[in-house]
């Protein structure tokens, strides 16, 4: 049995997120379908984390155990031949048998794009949030770094079925920045891990800053563990992309 690590890119538009859900198209179910066909047995795929319905990925990482002895370059080609065109394997390599894409990850980087011009090109409509209305972008740019550091992000998380387990919602954000890229406002955030809808809620909160409904003190209040409410509304899923997942060491090829 071999442990294989893959890097996956996908257009999440027509999928109900990463995680397998009965009767629904998901990224994990597509990968497991293809790998089970290649290995002639059920294959379970573990991902670095769950992306929501409609969220995209440029560098999701996953791993699985495989009996088939296909060399990794050939496995990559075989998977890409069978997978739908909106999911692609960018890399496949042998990994340590104990490797887990979620628990071994040291950081993840997400990007969110907001189209600011009056007209959003049709080719971009599925990958950016069109918001052509007035925003104080300078205030939003100044507010983004306030999320950096170790904080309790309970106010920036949607309700999760795992909440009853009482797990900590403290996360560390290594970098949080907002900048202009042509007609788009781009938010990039790198952290130790993220809660359900956390990045989308951060973007929604920064948008409230841009609308003049929230200031630096308001963000600080929402990062206080005693804060009883929720931060800004979640921005739409289509503007979000998982850029990359980092590890302390790569797999052996």
Q: What pLDDT score was predicted for residue 232?
A: 82
Q: Please report whether residue 190 resides in a domain.
A: yes
Same domain, 47 and 156: no
pLDDT in tens, 90-118: 999 999 999 999 999 999 999 999 999 99
Same domain, 77 and 126: no
Q: Which residue has the higher pLDDT, 159 or 88?
A: 88
pLDDT in tens, 60-75: 999 999 999 999 999 9
Domain end point (choices 103, 122, 155): 103
Q: What pLDDT score was predicted for residue 4?
A: 98
Per DSSP, 103 falls in state T
- Candidates 11, 39, 52, 183; catalytic one: 52
For the cut 80, the answer to whether the pLDDT of residue 126 exceeds it is: yes
Q: Please report whether residue 249 resides in a domain.
A: no
Average pLDDT, the chain: 94
CATH code, 12: 3.30.70.580
Same domain, 118 and 97: no
Q: How confident is the model at residue 252 (pLDDT cuts 50, 70, 90)?
A: very low
Query: Nearest to residue 91, comparing CAs of 79, 103, 101, 81?
Result: 79
Q: Please report whether residue 250 resides in a domain.
A: no
Same domain, 167 and 98: no
For the cut 60, the answer to whether the pLDDT of residue 251 exceeds it is: no
Residues 171-196 as b or e (16 or more Cβ within 10 Å = b):
bebeebebeeeebbbbbbbbbebbbb
pTM for this one?
0.94
pLDDT > 70 in the chain, percent:
96
Same domain, 148 and 228: yes
Same domain, 176 and 224: yes
104 is known as an active-site residue: no
Q: What pLDDT score was predicted for residue 228?
A: 83
Same domain, 162 and 225: yes
Domain count, the chain: 2
CATH code, 173: 3.30.70.660
Mean pLDDT value across residues 160-173? 79
Q: Please report whether residue 45 resides in a domain.
A: yes
Q: What pLDDT score was predicted for residue 196?
A: 92
Domain around 24: 2-103
Mapped onto helix, strand or coil, the DSSP state of residue 247 is strand
Q: Please report whether residue 253 resides in a domain.
A: no
Q: Please report whether residue 73 resides in a domain.
A: yes
Q: What pLDDT score was predicted for residue 168?
A: 87
> How far, in Å, CA of 206 to CA of 178, rounded?
9
> How far, in Å, CA of 142 to CA of 139, rounded?
5
Domain end point (choices 44, 68, 103): 103
Same domain, 171 and 92: no
């Amino acid at each position: 049995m071999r442990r294989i690590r893959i890097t996956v890119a996908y257009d999440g538009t027509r999928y109900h997120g990463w995680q397998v859900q009965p009767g629904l198209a998901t990224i994990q179910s597509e990968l497991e379908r293809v790998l089970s066909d290649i290995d002639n047995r059920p294959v379970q795929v573990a991902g670095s984390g769950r992306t929501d319905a409609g969220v995209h990925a440029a560098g999701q990482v996953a791993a699985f155990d495989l009996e088939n002895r296909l060399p990794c370059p050939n496995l990559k080609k075989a998977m890409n031949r069978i997978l739908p065109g909106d999911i692609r394997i960018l890399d496949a390599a042998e990994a340590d048998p104990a490797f887990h894409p979620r628990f071994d990850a040291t950081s993840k980087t997400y990007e969110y794009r907001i189209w600011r011009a009056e007209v959003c090109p049709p080719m971009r409509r599925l990958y950016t949030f069109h918001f052509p209305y007035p925003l104080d972008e300078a205030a939003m740019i100044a507010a983004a770094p306030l999320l950096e550091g170790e904080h309790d992000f309970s106010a920036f998380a949607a309700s999760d079925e795992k909440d009853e387990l009482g797990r900590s919602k403290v996360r560390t954000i290594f970098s949080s920045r907002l900048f202009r890229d042509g007609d788009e406002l781009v938010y990039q955030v790198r952290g130790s891990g993220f809660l359900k809808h956390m990045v989308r809620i951060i973007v929604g909160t920064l948008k409230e800053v841009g609308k003049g409904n929230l200031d630096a003190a308001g963000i600080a209040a929402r990062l206080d563990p005693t804060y009883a409410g929720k931060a800004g509304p979640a921005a739409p899923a289509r503007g979000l992309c998982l850029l990359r997942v980092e590890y302390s060491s790569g797999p052996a090829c």
